[in-house]
Chains A and B, each alone.
Chain A
Amino acid sequence: MRQVRSTDWLFHLYLVLFLAYMLVPLIVMGGAAFNDSRFPSVYPWVGWTDRWFVELWADTRMWNAFANTIYVALAVVAISVPIGTAAAIVINSIAGTTRSVLYALMVAPILTPGAVIGISTLLFWNGVGNAAGSGFFLFKAGLHMSVLGQVSFIAAFVMLLVLARLQSFDRGLEEAALDLGASHAQVMRRILLPHLYPAIGAGAAISFFQSIENFNVTLFTRGTYDTLTVYVFSKVRTGITPTINALALIMITATLLGAVGYEIIRRRRERRLAGR
């Protein structure tokens, strides 16, 4: 089976270079969080410190921005997942021009620069507010508007994932359920959605992370609120300290722990299913 023996070293070299390319920046970034230097760097190494973590802990503006980010992300997930799933189901069940137009309409925001989405979201809702002659807060910039702006393109990611999963759905199951007396709503709840859950779950995760890392759209629509990315950006202008590195290190660690934890649960479940 191993026919590539003569080029094994080349393969290993490639692997090492690739992993180094991916991981060295993270290691440098993480190391800088412990360097007792006013600037985020590992060279020159001034000395070991945990003061950036202490400063981070005391940074209430940062924690406020962090909370805002989570709120926005949760709201984006809550709105994007139903919209994306529904769009996928509709697009999958129609054909012809309507399908193409709908598909293009859904996917276009992914291809649109974030700044454009941000500005147009702001202008659109301002316009609606002016037309209605209302000073109601929903028409003004704020976190809710960041949510709307982000949903406009994040829902498309959910849709693409669910659409891919729908390709493997056997329409025969739907017919079988109808034949057994199920209504369309029952088919949806008991047959179609359970089939789509993996894609919906993945869509929710991607929506969450897309929202957390979003900067362009949020910057234009946030009003007076800070989110993490916007806050970090403002720090870059006013003078950056390794607290940012400390924050990044915590986030990476949390993500890694989450991934490892999920994998452990998944394997345990797999073993349980196999053993049944």
Chain B
Amino acid sequence: MSAGVDLDNVCADFGTFRAVDHVAVNIRPGEFFSFLGPSGCGKTTILRMISGFIPPSRGVIRIGGRDMKGQRPNQRPTALIFQNLALFPLMPVWENIAFGLEVRGVDRHKRRARAEELLQLVDLPDAADKAIAQLSGGQKQRVAIARALAVEPQVMLLDEPLSALDLKLRQHMRAELRAIQKRTGVTFIYITHDQGEALAMSDRVGVMSQGKLQQVADPREIYNNPANGFVASFVGENNIFTGDIQGAEGDLARFATASGTFTARLGPAVTQGMKARLFLRPEHVRLAPAAASANSIPVEVTDVAFEGNFISIHARDAGGQVLLAEARNDGATAVPAPGERLHFTFDGQNAVILTGDTAARDADE
């Protein structure tokens, strides 16, 4: 069983600081929904409000259509997986998993059986009698998930549960989490500052900044059609140009910058006269030996970094702006050498003009 979660203009205030600012979103039953944003953007506060540890200072939270006002954490159909997992160190694995059943008065025999069942589900058989301290990071993760699933929550809330794991394990657990979610059909609400996690796992992503929800959409839409400068710059890499919109024709517009005048797509609700920036993904940059008829920037390559599956090419244009291009390591692309002069070109449909602040680069640590 799963339930949807409706946030209806929810605010959270700590003194004069507004941590969550009029967030409105309907999370569907059985959906894998991620809140993505830099630390301090209010995403954890949202999670704690849904689980009942913090009351919203304004707005309504409904789970399965039912107003949660006044419902304490132990009365809500939610289970929270904490960032540090918060496993009970003095109980063996199976007692951890069965804790939610124990406090509901389920007898010992049934608890044990249910714990074994859940350990199968999270692919950790034979661990029932181990101590928590004997488990590896990934195993602890699975126990935490099993413990949360044991109470048959309608909504699972996950607070950056993968952040403590190493890269390989993190990628593995992403797929695992996604599979568990599909198998159980429980609504997952996932909090992360890692865009890769959010994009790879979610049905939909809500990007947050400074307490406000910037955009809610599926991962492709978030990446390909960001709603504003913050979303564009927080999710993925960009070449960013500041300049002025010169004139629009259809959904394209001419945009004058210090590096030249380009044609690019107009972002949602962007019109001439607005303070705007042009965003160009490095993978959409093509390397050309000669200037193209439009959208062409002469550059000098400053550095070439081999990343494995792709090669990132750092370059500088005549005005000194640092630009980044990515070439696939498919053997077909000629890799330029540092010092080489060439042209960065791009398709106007692949660049977008957006308003709003950009994310601070240190945000995705």
Contact = CB atoms under 8 A, between A and B. Distances in A.
Given A175-B53, A186-B103, A194-B90, A181 B84 contact: no
8 contacts: A175-B80, A176-B88, A179-B53, A180-B79, A182-B74, A190-B88, A191-B88, A273-B131
Contacts of B103: 177, 180-183, 186, 190
A179 B147 contact: no
A176 B82 contact: yes
A174 B147 CA distance: 15
Given A175-B53, A175-B73, A176-B80, A182 B86 contact: no
Contacts of A176: 80, 82, 86-88
Interface in A162-221: 170, 172-173, 175-183, 186, 190-191, 194-195
Contacts of A172: 82, 84, 86
Nearest to A186: B103
Interface string B19-60: 000000000000000000000000000000001010000000
B160 interface: no
B244 to A, nearest CB: 51
B192 interface: no
A178 to B, nearest CB: 5
A93 to B, nearest CB: 15
Contacts, number: 60
Most-contacted residue by chain B among A181, A190, A276 (CB, 10 A): A181
Contacts of B150: 180
Interface residues of A, number: 19
B102 A179 contact: no
Nearest to A171: B86
B82 A175 contact: yes
B86 to A, nearest CB: 4
Interface of A: 170, 172-173, 175-183, 186, 190-191, 194-195, 273, 276
Interface string B330-363: 0000000000000000000000000000000000
A179 B80 contact: yes
Contacts of A191: 88
7 nearest CB pairs, A to B: A176-B86, A180-B100, A172-B86, A182-B103, A181-B74, A179-B80, A194-B90
Most-contacted residue by chain A among B84, B103, B131, B147 (CB, 10 A): B103
B168 interface: no
Contacts of B147: 180
Contact of B86 (A173, A183, A190, A273): A173
A190 to B, nearest CB: 7
B304 interface: no
A181 B86 contact: no
Interface string B98-119: 0110111000000000000000
Interface string B150-161: 110000000000
Nearest to A194: B90
B141 to A, nearest CB: 14
